[in-house]
Structure 1
Amino acid sequence: MPRVSFKIVSAFSAVLSYALAKRSESAFLSSFCKVYVLCFFLWATYRFILYPNLFSPLRHLPTVDGKSWWSRQSVRLLSETRGVPQSEWIEQARGGLIRYRTVVNLERILVTAPEALAEVLTTKSYQFKKPQSIVTGLKRIAGDGILLAEGDRHKLQRKTLLPAFAYRHIRDLNGLMWEISTHSVASLTEAVATASKANEKPYIVDINEWAIRNQDGKYKNLEKIYKSVFSQSRQDMILFFLRVWILPGWILPYVPLKRNLELVQAGEALRDICRELIRQKKSDLESEVADKTDKDILTVALSYGGFTEDELVEQLLTFLAAGHETTATSLGWSIYALAKNPEMQTSLREEIRAHLRSPSASSPHSAEELASIIDNNMPYLRAVCLEVLRYFAPVPITFREAAVDTSISGIAIPAGTQIAICPRGINRAVSLWGDDANVFNPDRYLSQPKQEYTDPLDEEGNGEGLKKHAGARSNYATLTFLHGPRSCIGQSFARFELAILLATLVGRFEFALADEALRDETKLKLRRGATNRPIGGIHVKVKLVEGW
């Protein structure tokens, strides 16, 4: 017996109420309320009780909550950090799939084994789409670009944009990344010096808050907008309920809630900024200002000629939102991890100073030289960045929905089934990483045998993009950037960006936790947004280290 959407029930109630009102000459609103309540009760009974317990073809899969339709495990999904319950269930897994149920008894399938992940992410990737409720929520701020595109539309967009993210072109951008990082270092140096003169020692900063700042002052309102849209409020939960259960996506922007109006205004402001950037780039390309051989996102997209201006706006919005939030989150966790482990911080600083010139040097490294040094001469910097991205996966959990009737590991999966993929859990799975999986340990990337493996899709730009030491027991043991045709197209950019930002900061400053109690990670309360960022930020003491 198939599942029935609540939105279909709402539409059915409206049609039936209209027919009844017309026939009996009663008030439509009164008829609708009565019919709606009855239909809702019947639908809820079927959807939340009968279907998952009696009719679901997946009810025989291994589960975390036994046969009960409600359990403490379900409540954990609302009360604990996103991805934490699923991480524990992955360790308890027997086989590739686990069935669990939400607090309202909706079933989810958690993918736990590399072989099953390979099917969902690579061999059958286009049979699993992003759930419509997530798409509706994301596209307002993250744009309707490559992140949310499906099927042939996604294939075309990825093929078109891929040259902008080719590894050789990312290397060419290292000089620009270094220049931007030096602005950040100069800003923080000035703040530390000012505090020192005022005898305000030590200087304390929220590294998460600082990481999202636009240090050079250009498009300063971006910082304010993203800070607003990525914050959390109670009205966000109301909007989530409305878009999942009741309203079609096109009505959502008109819901008269304060938070909804804020998101609508933020989306319009971001699109105006993107449109301004696109028109400026187009003007530059038509003149002699821009290098026609540039391979940045806008140049590649404009050269393709297949995108309208509105479509380009959506693509740029996607890259701004995705790159802004995830990189800032990763940088904050990097400083947190090094502040907790001063010996690691010291070792990293020694390597940085041994190979890189100071950000204030009169003759900075060229882009090619900088890329070569980071790739070939700084194994510890690379190891720290890889471990940060593994241990503190910026996006702890993501979801897919079966677009068609399909299968995973030989088990039939009906269309509409919600699939959970948990980077946080897979990245820390003892079965995949060994006994120290839940320990932050960059040395795992240095002490492993020389044997290496690559994602087979690397040459097409669909895989990891960089070789990884075989410390893990599967190529799917790290899901930070996912894998396959839907893997993060900007992963090489993100890795270099994090490495350069971290190198300039740790080379110049020493960081220590302002509150030693937060050395215990369990005392950090994380927000329940798309990324795992601590509520209230991460406050660290910053000390200028002379000699660089």
Structure 2
Amino acid sequence: MTMAIPELTGLPLLGSLLDLRNDSLGTFLKARRDHGDVVRITAGPPGMRGVVHCVFSAEGAQQVLAGDAANFRKDNAFYQEIRESFGNGLLTSQDDDYLRQRRLVQPLFTRRGVDTYAGAVAAEVTRLTDGWQERAEDTVDVVHEMTGLALRAVARILFGTDVEEAVGIVERCFPVLGAYVSSRGFAPRKLPRDWPTPGNRRAAAAHEELYAVCDRIIAERRAAGTSGTGRDLLTLLVAAGSDEDGGFDAAELREQVLVFLLAGHETTATSMGFALHLLARHPEEQKRAHEEIDRVLAGRTPGAEDLDALPHLTRVLKEAMRLFPAAPAIGRRAVAATEIGGHLIPAGADVIVSPWVTHRHPRYWDDPERFDPDRFTPEAEAARPRYAWFPFGGGPRACIGQHFSMLESVIALAMILQSYELEAVDTHVPLGSAITLQALGPARCRLRART
């Protein structure tokens, strides 16, 4: 016998609309704390009211993302807004489109293939730390700095020598489109995109500029054909193909590039930035990381082969991703009625699973707000349900770039900690959520060069 789904109490007219707009992360935590692992949240005035069903347990997340994945599709309003702004690439495509794209792209994201990008990541980290040495001030906002680093690294890997122009345009355009997607994705009603409102016009200009630079670079790669000698990811995407699936046309290439830029820099930047900030706030864990890095690397630049030899640094990163998951909420839409945790999710329902909440669930995590990298020893990981920690999603739609994210993050953290000790200036960083987790204030750290 199924139980009725409890509902988060909101305002009589607006439901939980204001709570979700002002603090969606806190609202989801309150929903689980007060009502359990399956909670119904309504938002918006009568006649325009939206309803979302939140699933907070690890077992429920596994059911939505993996076990019953075919029944939970990317058909909600939020993904539609991402499609219209960034294209129908791997992040948003479905069914045969997704399977074809995945087959074409997967060979470029094998562990061996991704490991070849370690040198490009290290070069960008060196560029960053050299710039820090030239500054007059000794304080940096680590989340902001890691955002710049991650963008340059993924743009360099995608575009090779065209990195400078692409980075400047992405830095201008992505924040505009990200805010636009977020505001429209959660709005009870939306104005048509072609109405000349200020928000629509700003988004259209950013969209046009971003598409233009991608189309220009892609046209050059396609014109080079087999005579091109570059090994950047775009060149490999141009060449990707099979008898069964053909290859990518120019529009499809642009969509994949934009998804890689979107998913490949903000997410990894969040992980790296908060890992550094957490170490700056916990000197004893920073000391353990310094000792491991010094012992393993002895001053040399790390490569892909060093990842397995830096287990404590990897645990630091995983714990940062637990506390600050780059995708704090993941949405789906149910095709058919499905029972989860004794509750019946109706057909057509919008469903959210939330790493932000599940990563803090007291059933899986003791003292969940405490920073403790030893939660990720092999023994501790084996003792928890698989989906108690899922920063990369899971199931058939798990992030294709998760090994690249871990490679880039461990190399970057190791190189920065080789050169610096960090001391936190800001001990609390206010947070919000758009397409990804957002730092709404500075995460400043004071740098001290290590001798």
TM band (smaller chain): 0.7 to 0.9
Query: 1:302/1:475 Cα in 2 relative to 1: closer, same or farther (>3 Å)?
Result: same
CA distance in 2, matches of 1:509, 1:110: 42
**Percent identity for Structure 1 against Structure 2:** 26
In the alignment, what sits opposite 2:205?
265
Secondary structure at the aligned position of 1:338 is classed as helix
1:139 positional shift: 2.6
CA distance in 1, matches of 2:272, 2:186: 32
Query: 1:231/1:350 Cα in 2 relative to 1: closer, same or farther (>3 Å)?
Result: farther
2:142 is equivalent to residue 207 of structure 1: yes
1:348 positional shift: 1.0
Residue 147 of structure 1: which of 88, 91, 96 is its match? 91
CA distance in 2, matches of 1:224, 1:64: 41
Contact kept, 8 Å, 2:147 with 2:269, in 1: the verdict is yes
Residue 372 of structure 1: which of 305, 309, 313 is its match? 305
CA distance in 2, matches of 1:119, 1:354: 42
Q: Which has the higher contact order (CA 8 A, sep 6+)?
A: 2
Contact kept, 8 Å, 1:140 with 1:264, in 2: the verdict is no
In the alignment, what sits opposite 1:52?
none
2:391 is equivalent to residue 443 of structure 1: no
Report Cα offsets for 1:380-434 as digits up to 9, x if no partner.
111111111111101211221123455445654333211011110011111022x
Structure 2: 5+ residue stretches without partners:
157-161
In the alignment, what sits opposite 1:160?
104
TM-score (norm 1): 0.71
In the alignment, what sits opposite 2:22?
79
Residue 302 of structure 1: which of 234, 239, 249 is its match? 239
Contact kept, 8 Å, 1:206 with 1:538, in 2: the verdict is yes
Contact kept, 8 Å, 2:176 with 2:206, in 1: the verdict is no
Secondary structure at the aligned position of 2:164 is classed as coil
Contact kept, 8 Å, 2:432 with 2:438, in 1: the verdict is yes
Instruction: Look up the equivalent residue of 1:87 and give its one-letter code.
Output: L
Instruction: Look up the equivalent residue of 2:400 and give its one-letter code.
Output: I
In the alignment, what sits opposite 1:330?
271
In the alignment, what sits opposite 1:49?
none
In the alignment, what sits opposite 2:58?
114
CA distance in 1, matches of 2:257, 2:291: 38
In the alignment, what sits opposite 1:420?
352
RMSD of the TM alignment (CA)? 3.1
Contact kept, 8 Å, 2:422 with 2:445, in 1: the verdict is yes
In the alignment, what sits opposite 2:332?
400
CA distance in 1, matches of 2:180, 2:99: 36
CA distance in 2, matches of 1:494, 1:319: 11
CA distance in 2, matches of 1:262, 1:384: 39
Residue 495 of structure 1: which of 384, 387, 406 is its match? 406
Map residues 515-534 of structure 1 onto 2, 5 A cutoff: 518-519=426-427, 521=428, 524-534=429-439
Map residues 89-108 of structure 1 onto 2, 5 A cutoff: 89-92=31-34, 94=36, 96-104=37-45, 106-108=50-52
CA distance in 2, matches of 1:336, 1:271: 34
CA distance in 1, matches of 2:186, 2:317: 37
CA distance in 2, matches of 1:384, 1:336: 11
Contact kept, 8 Å, 1:177 with 1:497, in 2: the verdict is yes
Instruction: Look up the equivalent residue of 2:434 and give its one-letter code.
Output: G
Report Cα offsets for 1:437-486 as digits up to 9, x if no partner.
2211112223x63x8xxxxxxxxxxxxxxxxx325x20010121111011
2:362 is equivalent to residue 430 of structure 1: yes
CA distance in 2, matches of 1:542, 1:431: 38
Map residues 467-486 of structure 1 onto 2, 5 A cutoff: 469-471=381-383, 473-486=384-397
1:112 positional shift: 2.2
CA distance in 2, matches of 1:537, 1:149: 35
CA distance in 2, matches of 1:184, 1:264: 32
In the alignment, what sits opposite 1:538?
443
1:277 positional shift: 3.5
Query: 1:237/1:425 Cα in 2 relative to 1: closer, same or farther (>3 Å)?
Result: closer
Instruction: Look up the equivalent residue of 1:499 and give its one-letter code.
Output: V
1:168 positional shift: 2.3
Instruction: Look up the equivalent residue of 1:339 and give its one-letter code.
Output: A
CA distance in 2, matches of 1:539, 1:424: 23
1:318 positional shift: 0.5
Query: 1:274/1:228 Cα in 2 relative to 1: closer, same or farther (>3 Å)?
Result: closer
Map residues 267-306 of structure 1 onto 2, 5 A cutoff: 267-283=207-223, 286-287=226-227, 289-290=229-230, 296=233, 298-300=235-237, 302-304=239-241, 305-306=246-247
Contact kept, 8 Å, 2:66 with 2:396, in 1: the verdict is yes
Query: 1:384/1:154 Cα in 2 relative to 1: closer, same or farther (>3 Å)?
Result: same
Report Cα offsets for 1:189-237 as digits up to 9, x if no partner.
222xxx1xxxx5xx22222222233668932553454355326999878
CA distance in 2, matches of 1:241, 1:393: 20
CA distance in 2, matches of 1:246, 1:354: 56
Instruction: Look up the equivalent residue of 1:445 and give its one-letter code.
Output: F
Query: 1:264/1:112 Cα in 2 relative to 1: closer, same or farther (>3 Å)?
Result: same
